[in-house]
Structure 1
Amino acid sequence: MNRQRRRQMAENYLVIWVDGNINMENEDCQNTLAQLRGVVNDVNPCTTAEQCIDKLQENSEETSFVISSGALGQHLVPEIHGMPKLDGIYIFCGNKQRHQEWAKDWPKIKGVHTTIKSICEKLAIAVKQCNQDQVTVSIIGVNEGGSSEDLNQLEPSFMYTQIFKEILLDMDHGQQAIKDLVTFCQEHYKGNKKELKIIDEFQRTYEPALAIWWYTRQCFTYKMLNRALRTLDGDIIIRMGFYLCDVHRQIEDLHSKQINKYHVDLKLTADDDQQLRRLTDRIAEEIGGSGWYRLGKLLLQIGQFDKAEELYTTLLEQASNDSDKAHLYHQLGMVKEKRGEYKEAISSYEKYLKIKRKTLPEDHPSLAATYNNIGLAYNNMGEYPKALEFYEKAHKIKEKALPPNHPDLAQSYNNIGSVYNDMGDYLKALEFYEKAHKIFEKALPPNHPDLAQSYNNIGSVYNDMGDYSKALEFYERALKIREKALPPNHPDLAQSYNNIGGVYNDMGDYSKALGYSKKDLEITKQALPPNHPDLATTYNWFGKIYRGMKDYPKALENFEKCLSIRQKALPENHPDKATTYSDIGDVHRLMGDYEKALSFHRKALNIQENVQC
């Protein structure tokens, strides 16, 4: 997640206090804020209803509470009452009788209050109830025979938290880890005297034997760890890694002494689903290595690219031998590629190859993955002959070194198929995609993410061929796997929503197309940098949908957002830029502005004449 664009939350809840008379230089306002932060740290003062609505929409995935003045509340409540993650509204006013009459019509209003103390008491009860209702993420099995009613909801978090746990338990955590967490918490809880006092106590008195005691205290340790595990926030999990390990080991110790009545909410979901266990083991195996290197791979796997880059850059600065440096250049290349920075990715891969070629021949098996990744970067840049050159180089190496049903060979077929698909040779693309799919079906568990990508690839060919029912069939298979196998904010999920939305758009079902595209945008804005090409693709679909709905101003707005990103992220003559110029020209034509339409179509034509196919 790009923390430049999205405020990082360390707890589960957001409180918005909205009142036209808020003035933070006023002592009463300062006292009110301090009391609210004693219950929930993240309190956002707003002076208008519009500011409140914006805050709720920006944090639509977080459980929220609103405290509103009576005057603003009458206009605000009808606007926000239907928001699914809004848990409760508290009216704070000087005239209780005046506002009780209208307030009773809205079930989410939890009372009309004349003192902040009574609101804090009610809010504390609501937060406690929400904590109990939250789906907890598993750390260790206390009840071996237990089962989960929410297994489908827990699967992605279960898998990746389990792998996180295994990695963290395998690492050394010194005293510096405690100091780093304390510094982070002091910054996060700045101004919250109650919590800062507890953090100071933690710094002075914490020891591993007190880990569970600190968790059951339900202070910052409880709030932060619960949210980090629920949302799979890699940053917080890493910061609290030492503490998570201490809790785990203490529970294990208590369990070995058969003190089974000691209940802690950090309990492991039942491990008796064999299909899920198989998938977890497979992904854990793929995230090989040890210590920080393994952690970096996991961060890449779950889409936390900024954190992975930060980790790999630090390790590169500390690397003392060529072997470690080469590996880290390769991993940084993967990070850059995932973020849509293709030229930088190729540069990192070439640094890797420069080191490796000192000791290895051109066709050594360990170089195949890098040739493959360079091919992917060129493909994304629209340089198809270059992409094909590197993909085929990787494929020849793999054919010699691997058995015919190896998943890496399937990935090679996939990659070559993708170039043919982008070049418009759909039958050739389908031939390679189906070769890959046959291998994946034999070699992988049925819910493996690579199998989802295979379904997705086949769906894309059928979509480009205009066979929308077939495309939808394969796209929905891909989505079904990804919903089970990936965290809820993973970019690949956004890709699935985008693809399905695109098919519905092509079929003329614009309401369904819009619904899927909104899901796509919600994830993409959180998971990727603001100039990532995938975000441009999402805006492009919005433009097409609104054009189909004949809402031309909105179509133009989204196509222009798409163009703005593509101009920054893609090479000068990339085919996708030509497509966007053409789309903008088409909207201007539909709006009757033929001069502008002609100008944009000429820009598209200039690129198309220069593209090498």
Structure 2
Amino acid sequence: MEHVKSSTSFRRTTSHETIQFFKPKTNLKHRSLSESDLNKCRAYLIVPLFPIQIAEKSRNLEDFTIIWLDENADKMQLRQLNKYCQIFGDMKVCVDYIEALPRGKIFFIVSESLCQKIIPIIHDLSQVEFVYIFCPLKIKHADDTDWMKIFIKIRGTFIDEQSLLIKLTKDVALLSNQLSSISVFSITKTEYQEKSVKDLNQEQATFMWFQLLIDTLINLPKNDKAKYQMIDECRLHYANNKIEEKKINDFATEYTPKSAISWYTRDSFLYRLLNKALRTENIDDIFKYRFFIADLHLQLSDLHADFIQKWPIFSKKKTLTVYRGQSMSATELKKIQDNIGGFIAINTFLSTTTSSAVAASFAGDGSGRPLLESVIFEIDIDPSKTTRPFANIQLLSVMKNENEIIFSIGTVFRIESVELITDDLWNVKLIISEKDDEKLKEVYSYLKNDLTMDTPSLQNLGDFLREMAEYEKAEHYYRLLINELPAQHEDIANIYNGIGVTYYERGLDDEAMKYFQDALGMKAAKYEVVAATYVNIGLVQTRQSQNIAALKSYQQAVEIMENNSAKPNMVLASFFLNIGSIYDRQGDYRTALEYFKKSLDIARSIIPLFHPFYITLYNNIGLVYDNLADYKLALNNFDAALTISQKILPPHHSSLVPIYTNIGEVFVSLCSYENALEYHDKALQTELKSSNLNRHTMASIYNNIGLAHQNSGSFVEALVNFEKALEFATEPRTLTSLFNNLGTTFLMLNNHEKAITNFQTAVELKLKYLDEKHPSLATTYHNLASLYQTIQDYPNALKYSEKTLNIDKITLPPNHPNLATTYNNIALIYYKMLDFNRALQYCEEAIRIMNQSSFPDNHPLTVLFRNTMKIVQEKLQKT
């Protein structure tokens, strides 16, 4: 689903002055979801979703990093623990390095001379696990000095390397068994029991999309190239470690798919590097381990099938109980406590044991407090109801005495209880959950099938990364695939489309169009891909305000699909959505609504309720009702789009921006400016946190914030935000709206010269790309009329008001408040020109329209228009 992130929509309302020409207040509506989704023909029109973390600048591929701030420190002994021991003598460089490792687990050593300067700076960083103060050749300082009391991560002061190494080794062991890769679903037990479907929260969405990535990797074709890529990566990160280098060489020569479990359970490079990649959700790193992830999952699946078959024979119990002992951060444990009845998802391979005694030995003794708690997970499983494979690996594991059972990635458990069973030990009881959210499973299956299809490949991974809004990474994998395929392969056109979409999403229209044209030039392309390419070309044309050309491109796509497909499908639904968007941009709202409803009818017959396609569709329907001044239906549709977005998208996803914006604009229409600014600020904060900041979107957001301030009478604040918007704006439609809004603000600040300059610039730009009867021109004509009325040039005020009225009669429904506003404004001009009879005629027409609208009798516009007529009638009685 491609979406244009800063197109426009316009509204005019009036000021609240008693007998003034009513001031215009126009809006740049954020239509960033105005285009379409194309799923089944895999034509790269799918809404980008959760952006998984990109590779850090300084990669830390083992579980822990040791940082030593002391230019005289000797790191050689610490190499026994971890080759990533970094020495710093400069405090600022050290802090910069730590902040560049957003998901690192750092053990921080600092010399006594620097400790009181650096610890207050780094102590509260989430990356820093523990802090150690090193005081060589000095008397050990007391641990309870006043300044140290507030820093709970300090593990002590040490006068020699040996004592430091012993403590460090113990703490590394304490943290090594943490279950760090989990998602806790925030669903209370009451909510789960009362509702069959609960809105997905942020961690659920993150979990779902992470699982799609893993499933895609598991289904990639197997080849030796993937194996040797992983081996090369492991050698790179253990270049000077002779022990691990030997293990890597043994793996290269001895490994077979049937030995995956054996290798995973060894204390070696493979376990550490794989789990670090899974824990950080670093796509590039995970991809390098794809062949081993697949082998381990498949071996577990084979063992699981055998286990399920034999379970009823060897066990009289319905359930199997396993245990896992570990240390856990107090914060994470509290989160689990707060979600009893909810779910916990494991985003890595989970090791457990059938022995509670073995688990207890891994849980610890509470010595990690107050930061860490000792926990035993007690897990009850009904083997017949599990959807993810697990298996007893005792016969294949290197550790024969631990009765180990491993669960594959993505297993979901229900949280039953959390209890403190001794002073030092917690018990968390989990069960395998059969009652996962059915809507989540439905959407997950649909998207999973759409991604993997019959022959998973690098193309699927590119698609997935594009959906995650990782456009540069997606382009990288698409290009890898092009290099592997023959020059005229039928998939090349589709890949060109994929690359084109990554450029489109980054706002690089010229580069996008080049690849779409290249796709059309591929003779071997399937008809679905050709149709999709025309849609993609239409998207670029739409954003460049070439509406006639875009409509032609969309219609070509529809013709291709109708000539080759006998029944309705999501391709046609997507095309109808795009065509409706064009009519919407042209101000033909009724026709736009017809096409949107066609799209909705098809979608409801094919895809599940909570699917990204509906986000676009309901958003666009809401925009049409908004333009038709049916604000109740507009809010209903925007709320529907927001509900689906919050269910299936992670936080701060760019697709939330237009929905927040459009809800804010409805509140502007309803004169609820505080609510409007609240939603516009949500849009701004979401976009600022996006991994792909979009210039079009930023221009639109600042413009909308400016409009809310303008409508509330805060004209200086409005001006500040419009000028910020100009710094980002490049689209013609956006620029014209901004010049119009700047003109309005200058008018309200009585700077008539700047006002007329900006209005004239807006008209000139609009006449270049819009029909002369477009509603947007009515907005600027209206504003020019207001300007001329203010400077008492009534003939010109009447001239531009009549231009406004001519367009309004054609483009607006007969009960639209903008039409009433225009009649009222003309009445005021005749009033100023002392033609009271004509003024009364236009007043009566304005009130007649408001009486036919959905507005209440006490709406500010209705009250204002009646006040105008009352004053005109009083003048008539006196003459």
Measured against the shorter chain, the TM-score band is 0.7 to 0.9
Residue by residue over 1:290-341, the C-alpha shift from the partner in whole angstroms, topping out at 9 and shown as x without a partner, is 2333333333333332222122223323432523433332332233223322
CA deviation after TM superposition for structure 1 residue 447, in Å: 1.5
Which of 343, 360, 369 is 2:510 aligned to? 343
Deviations 1:357-390 (A, max 9, x none): x899xxx665322211211121122222221121
The answer (yes or no) to whether the contact 1:521–1:538 under 8 Å persists in 2 is no
Matched, 1:201 2:368: no
Secondary structure at 2:521 match in 1 = helix
Task: Find out whether 1:179 has 2:228 as its counterpart.
Answer: yes
Q: Decide which of 57, 61, 79 is 1:7's aligned counterpart.
A: 57
Q: Counterparts of 2:206 and 2:212 in 1: how far apart (Å)? A: 10
3-state SS of paired residue (2:405): coil
Alpha-carbon distance in structure 1 between the residues aligned to 2:519 and 2:283: 27
Residues 427 and 346 from structure 1, CA distance in 2 versus in 1: closer, same or farther, beyond 3 angstroms?
A: same
Structure 1 residue 409: Cα displacement: 2.1
Query: Secondary structure of 2:131's partner?
Result: strand
The corresponding residue for 2:440 is 276
Q: Is the contact made by 2:745 and 2:755 (CA closer than 8 Å) also made in structure 1?
A: yes
2:420 matches 1:262: no
Are positions 1:419 and 2:582 aligned together? yes
Distance 1:550 1:444, change over 3 A: same
- Using the alignment, how far apart are the partners of 1:89 and 1:590 within structure 2? 59
Q: Structure 1 residues 70, 367: closer, same or farther in 2, change over 3 A?
A: same
State how far apart, in whole Å, the 2-side matches of 1:470 and 1:254 are. 55
Whether contact under 8 Å (1:503, 1:513) holds in the other structure is: no
2:501 corresponds to which residue? 334
1:340/1:592 Cα in 2 relative to 1: closer, same or farther (>3 Å)?
same
Does residue 611 of structure 2 align to residue 448 of structure 1? Answer: yes
Correspondent of 1:577 among 735, 740, 744 = 735
Q: CA deviation at 1:415?
A: 0.8
Alignment match, 2:816: none
Q: Which has the higher strand share?
A: 2
Report the alpha carbon displacement of residue 238 of structure 1 after superposing the two structures with TM.
2.0
Distance in 1, matches of 2:613 and 2:222, equals: 34
1:238-274 CA-partner distances (Å, limit 9, x unpaired): 2111111121122124334535353235444357644
Distance 1:434 1:559, change over 3 A: farther
Q: Deviations over 1:6-54 (max 9, x none)?
A: 637566989796x9xx56xx341x629x949956959796956898599
Aligned mate of 1:312, from 473, 478, 489: 478
Matched, 1:457 2:623: no
- Counterpart contact for 2:216–2:461, Cα < 8 Å: yes
Q: Work out which of the residue numbers 518, 521, 529 in structure 2 matches 1:354.
A: 521
| Matched-pair contact (CA < 8 Å) for 2:653–2:686 | no
User: CA offsets, 1:427-466, max 9 Å, x none?
Assistant: 4433332332233223211211112222222234445566
Give 1:31's aligned residue.
Answer: 75
SS at match of 1:443: coil
Deviates more, 1:153-162 or 1:582-591: 582-591
1:301 aligns with: 467
How far apart are the structure 2 equivalents of 1:285 and 1:295? Answer: 13
Q: Which residue of 1 aligns with 2:146?
A: 101
In structure 2, do the counterparts of structure 1 residues 15 and 521 end up closer, same or farther at CA, with 3 Å as the change threshold?
farther
Unaligned segments of structure 2, at least 5 residues: 1-50, 186-197, 308-390, 393-402, 413-433, 772-879
Separation (CA, whole Å) in 2 of partners of 1:50 and 1:497: 40
Which residue does 2:850 correspond to in 1?
A: none
State how far apart, in whole Å, the 2-side matches of 1:44 and 1:496 are: 48
| SS in structure 1 at match of 2:486 | coil
In structure 2, C-alpha distance between the alignment counterparts of 1:582 and 1:40, rounded to whole Å: 61
Q: Is the 8 A contact 2:722 2:738 kept in 1?
A: no
Larger relative helix fraction = 1
Q: Provide the residue aligned with 1:435 in structure 2.
A: 598
Question: Which one-letter code corresponds to 1:317 in the other structure?
Answer: N
- Take 1:125 and 1:386, find their aligned partners in 2: how far apart are those partners? 65
Q: Deviations over 1:35-84 (max 9, x none)?
A: 4995695979695689859965x777x4766857542357547xx85x8x
**Secondary structure, counterpart of 2:609 in structure 1:** coil
Give the corresponding residue for 2:195. Answer: none
The secondary structure found in structure 1 opposite 2:638 is: helix
Q: Which moves more between the two structures, 385-394 or 299-308?
A: 299-308
Report which of the two structures shows the higher radius of gyration computed on alpha carbons.
2
1:365–1:312 distance in 2 versus 1, CA, 3 Å? closer
Contact 1:587–1:597 at 8 Å: present in 2 too? yes
Shift of 1:231: 6.2
Distance change in 2, residues 1:389/1:183 (3 Å): same
Cα distance, 1:344 vs. partner? 2.0
Q: Is the 8 A contact 1:65 1:87 kept in 2?
A: yes
d(CA) in 2 for partners of 1:583 and 1:42?
Answer: 57
1:329 counterpart letter in structure 2: Y
Give the Cα separation in 2 of the matches to 1:159 and 1:6: 23
Say if 1:420 and 1:429, in contact at 8 Å, map to a contact too: yes
**Conserved 8 A contact 1:329-1:349:** yes
Q: Which moved more, 1:491-500 or 1:447-456?
A: 491-500
* Corresponding residue number in structure 2 for 1:90: 131
SS in 2 for 1:378: helix
- The alignment partner of 1:303 has SS state of coil
TM-score by length of 2: 0.54
Q: State the percentage of identical aligned residues.
A: 23
In structure 1, how many angstroms separate the alpha carbons of the residues matched to 2:165 and 2:750? 61
Deviates more, 1:601-610 or 1:338-347: 601-610
The alpha-carbon deviation at position 549 of structure 1 amounts to 11
The answer on whether the counterparts of 1:157 and 1:229 sit within 8 Å (CA) in structure 2 is: no
Q: How does 1:179-578 map to 2 (within 5 A)?
A: 179-185=228-234, 189=237, 198=244, 201-206=247-252, 207=255, 208-217=257-266, 221-222=270-271, 224-226=273-275, 228-229=277-278, 233-258=282-307, 260=392, 262-264=404-406, 266-270=408-412, 273=436, 274-287=438-451, 288-290=453-455, 291-322=457-488, 323-356=490-523, 367-402=530-565, 405-462=568-625, 470-486=633-649, 491-493=654-656, 496=659, 507-509=673-675, 510-511=677-678, 513-522=680-689, 524=690, 526=691, 528=692, 533-534=696-697, 537=700, 556=720, 560=724, 563-567=726-730, 574-578=732-736
Q: Which amino acid aligns with 2:411?
A: T
Change (3 A) 1:593 1:151: closer
- Which whole-Å CA distance do the structure 2 matches of 1:418 and 1:250 have between them? 50
Check conservation: 1:330, 1:370, Cα contact below 8 A: yes
Aligned residues: 571
Which residues of structure 1 form unaligned runs of 5+? 138-148
Instruction: Report the counterpart of residue 612 of structure 1 in structure 2.
Output: 770
Instruction: Give me the whole-angstrom Cα distance separating, in 2, the residues matched to 1:14 and 1:382.
Output: 52
Structure 2: which amino acid aligns with 1:176? K
